[in-house]
Copies of this chain bind each other. A is one copy, B any other.
Amino acid sequence: MEAIPIILFCEKGERISCKSGMETFPCEVERSKIKNGHVLIFSKHTTCGILIQEAERGLNVDILTRIEKLIPKGTGYKHDRIDNNADSHIKTCLIGVSRIIPLINGILQLGTWQSLFLAEFDGPRARKSEKNHRASNGRMILHHDADPIKI
């Protein structure tokens, strides 16, 4: 059992962004040959989370703008004395570092409008996440991939 570390690049230099995981993620699930199980997408970071939402550019901006309004950067946080990103941590607390998706007969059970995102709150950075399948026989799946995947 291994997990695939996936390197997530935030290419455009934004501090806060939503990066889609849909280009590579479903392909990998297919490649794994697993048919039934729960797929856990887990971020190993404390300043970026995982989201399931509609893939609409305007909405992505709305989500980030509203979260920024609720938890603005630099309003006298104690943690900012150590590392100037307390707001990024708090944003991640609200969104959460994982999502789990049912897999049935080889098909990810995302709804019509659901897409997977990395919600980056302290970019631009390269991020690693782990994606684990649990197969129909209960094993976790060795999920190799030669190259880091850009999503």
Chain A: residues with CB nearer than 8 A to chain B?
1-3, 35-38, 40, 42-46, 51-54, 56-59, 61-63, 66-67, 70-71, 77-79, 81-82, 86, 89-90, 92-102, 104-105, 109-114, 128, 130, 132, 134-140
**CB-based contact A40/B3 at 8 Å:** no
Smallest CB separation, A48 vs chain B (Å): 10
**CB-based contact B93/A63 at 8 Å:** yes
Chain B residues lying within 8 Å of A52, measured Cβ to Cβ, are 46, 97
Given contacts A58-B81, A59-B89, A138-B138, 7 further A-B contacts (CB under 8 A): A1-B36, A46-B114, A52-B97, A61-B78, A62-B79, A97-B114, A134-B138
**CB-based contact A40/B42 at 8 Å:** no
**CB-based contact A78/B102 at 8 Å:** no
**CB-based contact B66/A71 at 8 Å:** yes
Chain B residues lying within 8 Å of A90, measured Cβ to Cβ, are 62-63, 66-67
**CB-based contact B40/A59 at 8 Å:** no
**CB-based contact B36/A62 at 8 Å:** no
Chain B residues lying within 8 Å of A42, measured Cβ to Cβ, are 100-102, 109
